[in-house]
């Protein structure tokens, strides 16, 4: 917030002197960062979505001690989720604890039930990843659940990733005999683009491929502050040779694809920091939404685009989201398409944060979190005019 904006909020009719303004700034900066100046978002404001309102009175929690919680919409109209380092629904940090488990969520956001399918307390099936393994990427395609798994076989970020899949709705899991290899500059698959039930409902021409977002391995803060994009035909997800990486845009604004990941160019960047961004298609407004934490639990950005690769514009850029702080990690924030209104303006977010910053405000630290949100359109935008 610039000084003039702050003055207008305090008293729009007052004429403050330069000395008083300087004193006010000193006071604000000294308050342990509670009202520090707003950092600038990396992209210009959206021309379609003016803002998002988070309805914190709807905040629900479950699965204390379990984090991550990527989501996808399965073939049986259930949502599927994965968690790390806990017992899942009904468990705790110690009760039923596994490195990674998978769950099924039945019902709507006001009346839902979480069931541990693979791993966790009272699970339907034995854990496939009891000691090692983490995922932030889950997708259901044509009845098969897919996950990109961090094998935890080195010191982060120097780890290998492997594709895993389940043919029986999460009950048992198989792993590919090839990996996304670790090493400086190598692509680390972090999030699938999610859409409708069984990965349907994308704009024409996009459904034939699956998109994967992630950083390239880097020891720099924020994994180098860039996200990269890979794609693979939906019928060839298990074939390593079928993966391609976006290596810049042509004159028509379309990605140039190459099988060599070291040639990839970023499709999203933020000098303030980049967590693995979650992307979902919202058919009601014909936009892709990207959520990305730029530092800790309270620092969340929401961006939109007409394509999976941008260009991106900013819907909202928070420094104190949920009145949470900066200490710790913002892990994930996803909008399951199943829980969106038909017009795309009412959403429910499943999110996960970790650390001291997440223990203040709404106290969302290390658990399953669910909250309702409303998008506010820009008057006169194409979506508004279409109504």
The secondary structure of 161-227, three-state, reads EEEEEECCCCCCCEECCCCECCCCCCECCCEEEECCCCCCCCCCCCCCEEEEEECECCCCHHHHHEE
pLDDT of residue 26: 35
Q: What is the mean pLDDT of residues 336-341?
A: 98
**What confidence score (pLDDT) does residue 382 get?**
61
Long-range CB contacts (< 8 A, 24+ apart) of 233-236?
Answer: 233/208, 233/209, 234/141, 234/142, 234/199, 234/207, 234/208, 234/209, 234/210
CB 333 within 8 A of CB 345: no
pLDDT of 28 above 50? no
Q: Is 200 left (phi over 0), alpha (psi -120 to 50) or beta?
A: beta
Mean pLDDT over the full length of the chain:
90
Question: Mean of the pLDDT values across residues 233-247?
Answer: 98
Residue 290 has pLDDT above 60, yes or no: yes
- Residue 366 CA to residue 97 CA, distance in Å, equals 13
Fold (topology level) of 44-386: Tachylectin-2; Chain A (2.115.10)
Over residues 283-303, the mean pLDDT reads 97
Length of the chain, in residues? 387
Predicted local confidence at residue 220, as pLDDT: 79
- Residue range 254-272: mean pLDDT, rounded: 96
Residue 19 is predicted with a pLDDT of 36
pLDDT at 340 over 90: yes
Task: Tell me what percent of the chain is helix, strand and coil, each rounded to the nearest 5.
Answer: 10, 40, 50
15-29, 51-65, 84-98, 356-370: segment of lowest average pLDDT:
15-29
Segments making up each domain of the chain, as ranges: 44-386
Percent of the chain residues topping a pLDDT of 90: 84
375 vs 382: CA distance, rounded Å: 15
Query: For the whole model, what pTM was predicted?
Result: 0.89
At 38 the pLDDT is: 72
Tell me what pLDDT residue 222 has.
Answer: 64
What is the model's pLDDT at position 125? Answer: 98
Would you state the pLDDT for residue 3? Answer: 35
Q: Of 9, 56, 128, 96, nearest to 298 (Cα)?
A: 56
Considering only 33-42, 178-187, 321-330, which range has the smallest mean pLDDT?
33-42
Per-residue pLDDT reduced to its tens digit, 131-162? 999 999 999 999 999 999 999 999 999 999 99
Q: Averaged over 253-268, what is the pLDDT?
A: 96
pLDDT band at 129; cut points 50, 70, 90: very high
Q: What is the pLDDT of residue 196?
A: 96
How far is 365 from 58, CA to CA, in rounded Å? 17
Of 238, 241, 74, the C-alpha closest to 144 is: 74
In order of 204, 265, 317, 346, the CA distances from 76 in angstroms are: 24, 37, 35, 23
- Given a contact cutoff of 8 angstroms between Cβ atoms, the answer to whether 264 and 247 are in contact is yes
Question: Would the pLDDT of 22 be above 70?
Answer: no
Residue 181 confidence (pLDDT) above 60: yes
Averaged pLDDT for residues 279-308: 97
Output 182 or 23, whichever has higher pLDDT: 182
């Amino acid at each position: 917030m610039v000084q003039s904006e702050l003055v207008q909020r305090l008293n729009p009719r007052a004429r403050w002197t330069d000395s008083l303004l300087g004193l006010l700034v000193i006071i604000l900066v000294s308050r342990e960062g509670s009202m520090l100046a707003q950092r600038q978002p990396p992209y210009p404001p959206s021309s379609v979505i003016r803002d998002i309102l988070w309805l914190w009175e709807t905040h629900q929690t479950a699965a204390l001690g379990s984090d991550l919680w990527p989501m996808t919409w399965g073939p049986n109209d259930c949502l599927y989720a994965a968690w790390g380092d806990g017992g899942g629904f009904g468990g705790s940090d110690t009760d039923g604890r596994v490195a990674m488990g998978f769950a099924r969520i039945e019902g709507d956001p006001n009346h839902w039930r979480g069931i541990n399918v693979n791993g966790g307390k009272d699970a339907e099936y034995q854990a496939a990843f009891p000691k090692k393994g983490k995922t932030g990427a889950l997708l259901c395609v044509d009845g098969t659940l897919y996950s990109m798994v961090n094998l935890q076989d080195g010191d982060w970020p120097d780890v290998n990733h492997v594709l895993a899949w389940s043919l029986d709705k999460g009950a048992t899991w198989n792993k590919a005999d090839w990996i996304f290899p670790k090493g400086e500059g190598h692509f680390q698959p972090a999030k699938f683009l999610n859409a409708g039930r069984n990965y349907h409902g994308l704009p024409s021409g996009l459904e034939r491929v699956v998109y994967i977002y992630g950083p390239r391995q880097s020891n720099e803060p924020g994994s180098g502050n860039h996200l990269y994009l890979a794609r693979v035909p939906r019928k060839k997800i298990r074939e390593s040779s079928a993966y391609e990486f976006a290596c810049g845009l042509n004159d028509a604004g379309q990605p140039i694809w190459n099988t060599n990941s070291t040639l990839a160019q970023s499709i999203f960047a933020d000098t303030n920091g980049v967590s693995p961004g979650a992307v979902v298609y919202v058919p009601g407004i014909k936009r892709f939404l990207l959520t990305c934490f730029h530092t800790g639990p309270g620092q969340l950005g929401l961006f939109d685009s007409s394509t999976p690769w941008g260009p991106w514009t900013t819907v909202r850029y928070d420094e104190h989201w949920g009145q949470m702080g900066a200490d710790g990690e913002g892990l994930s924030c996803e909008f399951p398409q199943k829980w969106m209104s038909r017009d795309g303006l009412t959403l429910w977010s499943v999110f996960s944060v970790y650390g001291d910053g997440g223990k203040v405000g709404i106290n969302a630290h290390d658990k399953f979190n669910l909250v309702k949100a409303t998008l506010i359109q820009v008057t006169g935008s194409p979506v508004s005019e279409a109504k």
